[in-house]
Each structure stands twice: as C-alpha cells, then as structure tokens.
Structure 1
C-alpha cells in the first residue's frame, strides 16, 4: 500500500537513486553525479521535513523535494519512478506539499516547469498554480566574439553578488539568486566591468558546470567584454545559462549576438495560499 510522509531520515543516496529512475526518460538529460546532486540540494535550499516522499512499503517511489527561503516554498523537483506512473502519485504528493505550506503559513509556493511538459503543467494548473514568468535558456557553442581579456574586467568577491543583484531589472530565479550562489560560494566566480569606480556590468559563473548563473550589463559593450573575458580566461567548450526572464530584451539580444542559441523554455509558476 502506498503511503506518504516527509523525507526526514531518508538518505541522500536513496533519494538520488529514485531521482535517477524518475528522470531516466525526461526531455532533458538528468543524470548528475551523486556529488552534483548533493550540491544541487544545498544550493536550492532543500529541507527534508517539508519535502514529500511516496513509499510502497519501504521503497521510495516518488518525491517532491521542497525548499524554504524567506517564508516561501520552492519545488526543486517532482519525480515518480517509471514503474509507478499513472497512479496519481504526483497529485497526492502535491496535495501534501500544499498542506504543509499552509500549516507553515508560507506566503507562496514557486516552481519551474518545462513549457513542453504539458502533463505536469496541467497538474500544477489544476492545483491552483499560475504562470508568473516565462524563462528562456541558452547555450553557447560557437562564440561570435573573440575571446579576449579586458583591463576593465575585475575579479570580485563572490559575496558581492548580494549587492550586484540589486541592480538587475528582473530578479533572478530561485536557483540563480544570491542565496543559491552563496550557499556554495566556493563553486562560483564573480566578475565586474568597471569604468573608473563605476560598475557597468557583472557576471557570475560556475566554471565546473560551465554555466553563466547571473549577468547584468548597463551597456552592450560592458556585457560583450565580460563574456569575451570569461571565454578567454576559461576556454569553455560550451557555456550555458538558464532562466533568463523573457522580458529582458537587452540581455537576450546580447546573448544572441555573442552566439548563444535558445535551447528550451520554462514557466515559473506560483501558488498563493
């Protein structure tokens, strides 16, 4: 018989094994190493006590991994083992998550869903989630700018992201914001484009995952110089960025001109109790 409870006392290894099964047929490759999976949990703020597991006997067959920050919940992953699909397990876990949210008096519940994942989108919509933002994701394989170090680009303390982030017109997504970066600050590097004492742009990257996590630029020149500097410094084979707000036309234009191509789109969805 299926039963549902939080994930207190469930090992990361057990959750990881269920994660790999649940996402084995996902539209995007989802096969992180155990170490990368653990870092993902830390960066996104995972809390076992507000997360939900579906158990068949002692076997964890489904999960909703939840995080909590500043009185908001975030669903950082929903999955059900392939052999246990079509039993409304995800729906029941989501109901349990919403109950926990209300018991805690949380202000909102946030999640992201691939635009093409119509089944998941329909479930979230049915439960009362509404689209808050549209995110675009990009990958750079063939840069249209010459990698070149710039004397205007300086290396900054990662803690500076807390100040730089306030200059952005559109706030970063949950998994890209300062909390996610500072939770694993040793994994990130921060750069700023300076004209005298004035900061005209900045970028935060994760060199290991070859990802651009945050970027803001007041001028196209500053943005292009930042990207050219990063490409020269690290010689990445590829560079990806996710969850660019679709309203951020200047950043999207910059990324496109540098050679980034759009890979997929996501909806940020919001549940207000």
Structure 2
C-alpha cells in the first residue's frame, strides 16, 4: 500500500460523498448527498485548499477546508475530517494537516479553526499537539417538533413579525450575546441565501429581533432579541415562525455559547434537551 497526498480540486462530489460516508459509517452520523452539499456550501468549502490521502485512486482520508473571514481575520475552517476505518491509526490526519498548511499560508490565511466534541479526548489531544488551542465551549440541541413546549405567549401590541432578507452582520450581531460560530455567521448564510428563511420582529417599524432557519436541514441557525425587549414573547414568536418553515420533523440548534445563559435557558424551557457539547479550537499562524 502506497498512500499519496494531493489537493481535492479534481475530485468529483460523488467521490467526496462516498469517502465521507465510509469515514463515518461506524459513527452515529447519517447525512444525505444533499445535506453534505448544503453543509459544504454554507461552510465555504474550498477544494483547492483541501487535501486527501489516496490509496491508488481511492480517497481514504480527507480534510475538507472552508475559507472566509472570522472575527476579522482570513480563516480556514475544518469542515470535516475523516478516515476510513481500515486506514486509521496510521497518522494520516496529522499528515493531512501538515500537507494543508503551506497552501493555506500562501493563500493568506491567518488562522485555522475547527470544532470537536468535548468527549472526543483522542481528537482533542491530537489537535493540541498540532498547535490548536481551545477558545470557546458550545452547546447543541436537537428535538422533534412534536416534543417541543413553546410558552403560550403572544406578541404585544406594537410588535410584528415579517419575512425579510438576511440582515447585515453588524445589525444582527448587535442583538446577540456572543459571536456566532463559523457556520452561523451572516457571511455563511449569504453563501447560499435561498436555502434560509429570515424573520424579523419590529417594534413600531424598528427591528428588535431576528431569526434565521435553514429549510431542508431543520437548523435553527440564528435567534437574537434586543436586550431591551426580552422576556415579552419575541423569542417565542420568532422560534415558532422558524419552526413553521423548516421541512423536517426534527429541529436542531447547533453551537450556542455555553455561557449564553439566557439563550440556553430559553431553549430548555421550549423543550430542547442538551444534546452535547463542543469545543471551538484555533491555531494562529505566525
């Protein structure tokens, strides 16, 4: 067996999907071709800056890198890293990261970002050895819509909901309690805007809250309310509107900051159980 490493620029999407499916076949992960396609677009996947390990013509291990801007810096994001089961334990992921770095630096990337489950001690140790540091902790939630228990609140007089286009970064983030994770930035939504529904709550014509969901994945991607107008039913009204637009029975909320106590408590009141926790990790390029 001779393993070679090269860019994924010439790899067809079906081949990527097959490799992804093979790498995660023994995990509790099930993703369709369309879901993978949506995920890659939303996360800014750049095949020319992504690397695969090949056994002959077969893609057996990969790093799918996205690129964009994060907190003001040109950033690469590890959209997905995986290795087929029979090829694990050979150090392929370390080789892939090392193979990725020269091209990322040449492209002007200043930092490398990823997320990892907090109970995946093996992966966390590997990423720390590669120079990544934990920067934040996230929660994620998942629940069937039939099991949700939204409070029976109605909007007060003078408040209204309306479907709108995606907001500008600075406006939406002014209402948020934390900077969103990579896939939940306004920049990420604008990569494929027709796949998202945006609802705005206004008070006498002035925006006081935003909600954004992704139709086909059931992802509640954004929920923020102006602090001056909280606890009067706006969050509930926004969430209800978002749930009505998704096409899946199961709804999910991925990567709320662990210290965003108000939002996390609201989700739990609405019937979303805590599904798990992730770390955000970043390697700064010198």
In the superposition, the TM-score normalised over structure 2's length comes to 0.88
**Distance (Å, rounded) in 2 between the aligned partners of 1:167 and 1:272:** 28
The equivalent position to 2:255 in structure 1, one of 211, 235, 243, is 243
Judged with a 3 Å threshold, the aligned counterparts in structure 2 of structure 1 residues 34 and 147 are, in CA distance, closer, same or farther, namely: farther
Q: 1:109 to 1:183 in 2, by over 3 A?
A: same
**Partner Cα separation in structure 1 for residue 42 and residue 93 of structure 2:** 24
Counterpart-to-counterpart distance in 1, 2:9 and 2:245? 43
Specify whether residues 158 and 99 from structure 1 end up closer, same or farther in structure 2 by C-alpha distance, changes over 3 A only. Answer: same
- The aligned counterpart of 1:157 is 164
How far is 1:170 from its partner? 1.0
Does the Cα contact within 8 Å between 1:52 and 1:63 map onto a contact in 2? yes
Q: Distance in 2 between matches of 1:128 and 1:84?
A: 24
| Structure 1: distance between partners of 2:160 and 2:220 | 16
Q: Which residue of 82, 99, 103 maps to 2:85?
A: 82
Structure 2: how far apart are the matches of 1:180 and 1:230? 18
Q: Where does the alignment leave 5 or more consecutive residues of structure 1 unmatched?
A: none
Q: Distance in 2 between matches of 1:207 and 1:147?
A: 24
RMSD: 2.1
Shift in Å at residue 68 of structure 1?
A: 1.1
Counterparts in 2 of 1:147 and 1:44: CA distance versus 1, 3 Å: farther
- CA distances 1:2-55 after superposition (whole Å, capped 9, x unpaired): 1111111111111110000001122x42x3221221221111111111101101
Q: Give the 3-state SS of the residue equivalent to 1:95 in structure 2.
A: helix
Correspondence 1:123 to 2:126:
yes
Query: Which residue does 1:220 correspond to in 2?
Result: 231
Matched, 1:145 2:150: yes
Cα distance, 1:236 vs. partner?
6.3
- Say if 1:72 and 1:62 are closer, same or farther in 2 by CA, change over 3 A: same
1:7: which partner in 2? Answer: 8
- Structure 1 window deviating more from structure 2 (128-137 vs 249-258): it is 249-258
Distance in structure 1 (CA, Å) of the matches to 2:246 and 2:76: 35
Query: Residues 96 and 198 of structure 1: is their aligned pair in 2 closer, same or farther, counting only changes over 3 Å?
Result: same
Q: What residue is the counterpart of 1:18 in the other structure?
A: 19
Instruction: Check whether the contact 2:68–2:76 (CA below 8 A) recurs between aligned residues.
Output: yes
* Cα distance in structure 2, aligned partners of 1:119 and 1:93: 17
The equivalent residue for 1:264 is 276
- Alpha-carbon distance in 1 for matches of 2:122, 2:12: 29
Higher mean C-alpha displacement, 137-146 vs 166-175? 137-146
**2-structure distance, mates of 1:172, 1:72:** 14
For the residues of structure 2 that align with 1:201 and 1:250, how far apart are their CA atoms?
15
Structure 2: gaps spanning 5 or more residues: none
Deviations 1:129-176 (A, max 9, x none): 000110100123322225777583423323225332343231111111
Q: Is the 8 A contact 2:153 2:236 kept in 1?
A: no
* CA deviation after TM superposition for structure 1 residue 257, in Å: 1.4
Query: For 1:138 and 1:237, how far apart are their aligned partners in 2?
Result: 14
* 2:179 aligned with 1:171: yes
Q: Does the 8 Å contact 1:149/1:229 carry over to 2?
A: no
Distance 1:56 1:238 in 2: 38
Q: Is the 8 A contact 1:147 1:228 kept in 2?
A: no
Following superposition of structure 1 onto structure 2, how do residues 172-211 of structure 1 map, counting pairs within 5 Å?
172-211=180-219
CA distance in 1, matches of 2:118, 2:184: 19
